[in-house]
A and B are shown apart, each in its own frame.
Chain A
Amino acid sequence: MNGLEISVKMLLALPCLLYLASAALYVIYLFRQKASTQKMAFGLFCVAVAFHVLATIILAFKIGNLPVHNMQQTLSLAALAVSCAFIYAQKVFRLKILGVFASCLAAGVMVGAVAVPQAPAEQQAILNSFWLWFHIILVFLGEAALALACGAGILYLLQEHGIKAKRQGFFYKRLPSLDLLDSTSYTCITVGFTLLTFGLVTGFIYAKTALGRFWGWDQKEIWSVGTWLFYAALLHCRLYSGWQGRKSAIMTIVGFGLLVFTFLGVNILLGGYHQVFTR
């Protein structure tokens, strides 16, 4: 078992270092605003993702399942989901500056993944199900999209504050228009919310097949549905009460905080049957 653990660390260390390098380049880009730096940073980020995908596949084959059996694997998969979501978002919105947020987030989560103490990853037959795979992949991608929405929301607040206060500070030149930041955030929320919805549905179906019930008042279940309702409320307010801009941005950031708590906090602090994944 020990041998596997060391090699897992090795597998994840390389993409982790590449993410860190990419994040460093992105920070330089934030200050210097050179297009070539951004290109290099994004290129490096893509290389990091390629190695990360490779590492995840190797890991999946080694344990014969999706690598979500302990905290390390879970964090690594979360980072991968954020990275993939960002590469896709970059192609769609060309919001280069979001890379600063995405690369730092991915790098931070990966450092966490490499650094956490190892818990033995036990192979459980119960985890081998078609529904579970869908549940995990959809939830992770949905959460990644919502993470990007939070990033765009933070950038929106920074830019909005500068314009309202009539001070053209550090961010004024560096950030794009409020319109673009807001619509990016909105698109990320709708995509993330949709994925999360299907993720929860597949989760319920899986719970029925594996545990014999759809709903069990488990802490994780309650918090997940709570988070889902929060985003549903946010979307509702946007559509029917015109909550765009500042309010929406703040909600997005609060929502992401809630999401992180549901993702990690509940498992660590409150327990529940999902706890095994974050040991």
Chain B
Amino acid sequence: MTDIYLIGANHKTAPVELREQIAFDAGEVAQALERLKNDHGLTEAVLLSTCNRTEILYYSDSPDSVARLIQLVADMKHLDPDRFEKNLYVHKNQEAIRHLFMVASSLDSMIVGEPQILGQIKQAYKMAVAQNMCGVVFNRLLHKSFSIAKKVRRQTGIGDNAVSISYAAIELANKIFSDLSTKSVMLLGAGEMAELAVEHLMGHQVKRITVANRTFENAVSLAQRFNGGAIKFEERVEALMDVDIIISSTGATDYVLTAPDVKKIMKARKNAPLFFIDIAVPRDIDPKINRINNAYLYDIDDLNNIVTSNIEQREKETVKAGRLVDEAVIKFEQWMDGLKVVPSIKAINDKIQAITHAECEKTLAGLNLSGADADAIRRMTKAIATRTLHDPIRFLKNTGDHRDDSRYLSMARQLFNVDLLDEDE
């Protein structure tokens, strides 16, 4: 009896130090697949390794393969199996299929709905195909995982809404300004947070970046990195005339921009909108500024609130997504059942008997035979069908232990066109 197994560790079961140790790079994946094929005699296996998970999905008829594969990972990673065995989960058949579908649909991700995981699974599948480690079952299984992932993304809101602070800030900037490429940014403070924020905004190609910092040298060096300009910290209020977005992350204990400052500038800039992003703790920018017309202020808590509520929103959608996954699992299991010997033989036998019966009755209707004669002919046609199928059925019943049953069954079902469960959406 051949089963689908899945062994793995992810961000829920293993700490990052351990995940790093059992992660496989592309070369190691190829090597591992090679060994699974040659040393362990596996015909179908996929190895997925990302920063949040390492998983081996394989098709085997031996229950002790689990221990052997854990040993293989331990050997390749020079680890003691005891060191990570308790962090592993092992799923079999239905559970393994469900787990794969959940992972592909990004329901098992650290940030639910993040889109990278599907690409990573596709990559893992490609590598398995390159090693000739995907047969009838896994080709279908993996393709089903891609299609369910797309379906989940399409039919639920799981991929909507910003779930990181910088993305939420950029989304807000895009809701205030129609074209960021015509807008300028001023950084208050040249710390690491400011740098990160600008790196994200640079991706959106703002027109110009100005850096103001108490230590002027730091402002200059950061400005150089972004092809921007540096100004003295004292010039920050006048500089509001020429910028549209202000990102503040200084270590100051007082407000570095106050509402009266901004009110004055607002008049001078004819109320052209200003967007303040205050990521400093304690806050840098006077919260009263948000009450000024056409000035918008978001501090780190506001951005965090957006992100939290968006994550909650995504998690609500997981219920619906879970249902879609369950449906796909059931369908896949039905298809797997079809690959079993008895139902396949029955389907083939039924089809041939039905054909001979129908043809026989059609012919008999045209002939004027007595009841006994007709029965004899019926018996004869039935016997022809049975005898014709005798050898193929015997072959399917005993393809030999060393051969891949599922491949022959799949082929036989295609040959006789009895693959009724095959529905590709």
**B396 at the binding interface (Cβ < 8 Å):** no
Residue contact A183 to B296, C-beta cutoff 8 Å: no
**A112 at the binding interface (Cβ < 8 Å):** no
Contact partner, A180, options B172, B178, B269, B272, Cβ 8 Å: B178
Contacts of B271 in A (CB 8 A): 242-245
Residue contact B294 to A244, C-beta cutoff 8 Å: yes
Contact partner, B302, options A159, A166, A172, A244, Cβ 8 Å: A166
> In the complex, what residue of chain B is closest to A247 when comparing beta carbons?
B293
Contact partner, A177, options B178, B290, B298, B306, Cβ 8 Å: B178
CB interface residues, A 232-275, toward B, < 8 Å? 241-247
Contact with A along B156-170 (1 / 0, CB 8 A): 000011000000000
User: Please, how many angstroms separate the alpha-carbon atoms of A157 and B306 in the complex?
Assistant: 20
Residue contact A244 to B175, C-beta cutoff 8 Å: no
Contacts A245-B294, A246-B294 given; indicate if A172 touches B175 (C-beta within 8 A).
yes
User: Please, how many angstroms separate the alpha-carbon atoms of A179 and B294 in the complex?
Assistant: 10
**B227 at the binding interface (Cβ < 8 Å):** no
User: Please, how many angstroms separate the alpha-carbon atoms of A189 and B11 in the complex?
Assistant: 56
Contact with B along A160-171 (1 / 0, CB 8 A): 000110101000
Contacts of B305 in A (CB 8 A): 166
Contacts of B132 in A (CB 8 A): none
Q: How far is the CB of A265 from chain B (nearest CB, A)?
A: 31
**A30 at the binding interface (Cβ < 8 Å):** no
Residue contact A168 to B176, C-beta cutoff 8 Å: no
Contact with B along A20-42 (1 / 0, CB 8 A): 00000000000000000000000
Residue contact B270 to A179, C-beta cutoff 8 Å: no
Contact partner, B309, options A164, A168, A175, A177, Cβ 8 Å: A168
User: Please, how many angstroms separate the alpha-carbon atoms of A163 and B168 in the complex?
Assistant: 12
Contacts of B172 in A (CB 8 A): 163
CB interface residues, A 143-186, toward B, < 8 Å? 159, 163-164, 166, 168, 172-173, 175-180, 183
For B, the interface residue count at a CB cutoff of 8 angstroms equals 25
**B177 at the binding interface (Cβ < 8 Å):** yes
Contact with B along A196-240 (1 / 0, CB 8 A): 000000000000000000000000000000000000000000000
Contacts of A164 in B (CB 8 A): 290, 296
Total A-B residue contacts, Cβ distance less than 8 Å:
55
User: Please, how many angstroms separate the alpha-carbon atoms of A245 and B177 in the complex?
Assistant: 12
CB interface residues, B 129-164, toward A, < 8 Å? 160-161
Residue contact B293 to A177, C-beta cutoff 8 Å: no
Residue contact A179 to B306, C-beta cutoff 8 Å: no
Contacts of A244 in B (CB 8 A): 270-272, 294
Contacts of B273 in A (CB 8 A): 178-179, 245
Residue contact A179 to B176, C-beta cutoff 8 Å: yes
User: Please, how many angstroms separate the alpha-carbon atoms of A179 and B267 in the complex?
Assistant: 18
Contacts of A176 in B (CB 8 A): 175, 178
Residue contact A163 to B176, C-beta cutoff 8 Å: yes
Contacts of B269 in A (CB 8 A): 242
Contacts of A183 in B (CB 8 A): 178
Residue contact B175 to A178, C-beta cutoff 8 Å: yes
Q: How far is the CB of A224 from chain B (nearest CB, A)?
A: 30
**B224 at the binding interface (Cβ < 8 Å):** no
Q: How far is the CB of B169 from chain A (nearest CB, A)?
A: 12
Question: Most B CB atoms within 10 A — which of A166, A183, A244?
Answer: A166
User: Please, how many angstroms separate the alpha-carbon atoms of A243 and B160 in the complex?
Assistant: 35
CB interface residues, B 258-275, toward A, < 8 Å? 267, 269-273
User: Could you show 9 A-B contacts with beta carbons less than 8 Å apart?
Assistant: A163-B172, A164-B290, A166-B305, A166-B306, A177-B174, A180-B178, A244-B270, A244-B271, A247-B293
- Of all A-B residue pairs in the complex, the 5 with the closest CB atoms, nearest first, are A242-B270, A179-B178, A242-B271, A180-B178, A177-B178
| Partner-A contacts on B (CB < 8 A) | 160-161, 172, 174-179, 267, 269-273, 290, 293-294, 296, 298, 302, 305-306, 309-310
Given A164-B296, A175-B175, A183-B178, 14 additional A-B pairs, CB 8 A: A163-B172, A163-B176, A163-B296, A164-B290, A168-B310, A176-B175, A176-B178, A177-B174, A177-B176, A178-B176, A179-B176, A242-B267, A244-B270, A244-B272
